[in-house]
Amino acid sequence: MTLISSIFVLLFVALVAGELLNRVGIPSVVGELLTGLILGPAVLGIVSPNQVFSGISEVALFFIVLLIGIEATTDSLIKNYKPAMVFTATSFIIPVVAMVIVSTMVFHLGYISAIVLSVAVGVPSISIVSVILRDYDMLRVRAGHIILASVVITDIIAFAVASIFSNPKAVYYEVPGIVIFMILFFTLDMEVRKHSKLVVELFTRLHATERGEKIIFGSIILSGLIIASIFEIIGITYVLGAFFAGIIISDVVVGRELQGILTRTLSRINDSFFIPIFFAIAGLNSIFPPRDSVYLMFALVAVGIAISVPLDYFYGRTVFEHISAKTGVGILGGRGAVGIVIATVALSSGIITRGLFSVAVFATLIISTCLPPLVMKKDIHIPEEASELLYY
């Protein structure tokens, strides 16, 4: 089968499978991963992974993570960081620590493999969470922004962990590098916000010119590539660079109208091509885990759910006003892009084997099938007077 034919088959089946599952309340990423798994060497062998697919996957990953960053705002993060930090602990840190203990003590994995694998399985994905929040209009109330801020913090930690452990010998300069970058990033963000009117006016004038939109889009993509390249130069995965490049593209920089155009455009490209093809290719690289890995997979899923669900539920009862605690649990259970991204980086870096990569993929499938369906529209009560502007 030719390259174009392979892409067509993968994309067509991934889009159809993702849409069908999404209609029954299961994230489309599950269908996209299953597409690659079934069409790939693990089952039918119709499409085989190759270097070209790896290149396409890296390009897709850049645009996916760039949009994830754009959907995360520093303003929402700062305003809601206290309750968000608690949810980061209950939905991610505590379950991941427990999974690492089980992986090392019971299944005798090495510490680095255990940590990266547990992070990949345990990290909520902002791409899925933000879609659920938008679909149910929850960004008009504080509960939605608390959840979003929590996932932003979680994903930053997860990306940093993946970056550090992809080259453990470089930890002595990678950790200070990330810390210095974070300080410079938030300093720059604060300065931009102080002069927001001037910056927005500049972008608005540029957008009004004949080729302004093309120049703006090109500049944003180039800035993302520059930051991602800087991260690679200092030994940190470009994924974290693309994420931060996206965060800085906020409504106070380019204006609310232009940010909406950027987000919608990137969302359409990602939703229709980059996301389904990326996850389908990830599925191609998966195999059915051997028996001992199957036990590990179910153990990680069981530990993660058993710890995160009750902790998220009980804390959610104290802070959520317009949504039920059960719905909060379902949203925070969204797994997908970030976990698979981390597993992909770990696989390409040799931190985990192909079998452990498959554990991450299958665990993501199971958790994403079990928890997001807990989100029920009847448990969400958005006041008519609520405004999403309130928390931006």
pLDDT at 89: 95
pLDDT at 250: 65
Residue type, 315: Y
pLDDT at 191 exceeding the cut of 70: yes
Task: List phi, psi (to 5°) of 381.
Answer: -125, 95
Q: What is the mean pLDDT of residues 55-71?
A: 81
pLDDT at 392 exceeding the cut of 60: no
pLDDT at 12: 95
- 30 touches 23 (CB < 8 A): no
Q: Which of 137-141, 191-195, 247-251 has the lowest mean pLDDT?
A: 247-251
Q: What percent of the chain has pLDDT over 70?
A: 88
Q: What is the mean pLDDT of residues 284-310?
A: 87
pLDDT at 391 exceeding the cut of 50: no
Distance CA 19, CA 21 (A): 6
Query: Looking at the domain that runs over 50-391, which CATH code has it been given?
Result: 1.20.1530.20
Q: What is the mean pLDDT of residues 239-267?
A: 74
Reported as a single tens digit per residue, the pLDDT across 255-274 is: 677 777 778 888 888 888 98
pLDDT at 388 exceeding the cut of 50: no
pLDDT bin (cut points 50, 70, 90) of residue 306 is very high
Distance CA 159, CA 231 (A): 12
pLDDT at 389: 42
- 72 touches 153 (CB < 8 A): no
Considering only CA atoms, which of 274, 374, 377 is closest in space to residue 322? 377
Distance CA 365, CA 356 (A): 14
More confidently predicted of 291 and 44: 44
Q: What is the mean pLDDT of residues 366-381?
A: 79
Reported as a single tens digit per residue, the pLDDT across 197-228 is: 777 777 778 777 878 778 888 888 888 888 88
pLDDT at 98 exceeding the cut of 90: yes
The pTM of the whole model exceeds 0.95 = no
Q: For the chain, what is the mean pLDDT? A: 81
pLDDT at 368 exceeding the cut of 90: no
pLDDT at 44: 87
Q: What percent of the chain has pLDDT over 90?
A: 19
pLDDT at 307: 95
Half-sphere exposure of 268 (CA within 13 A, CB side): 5
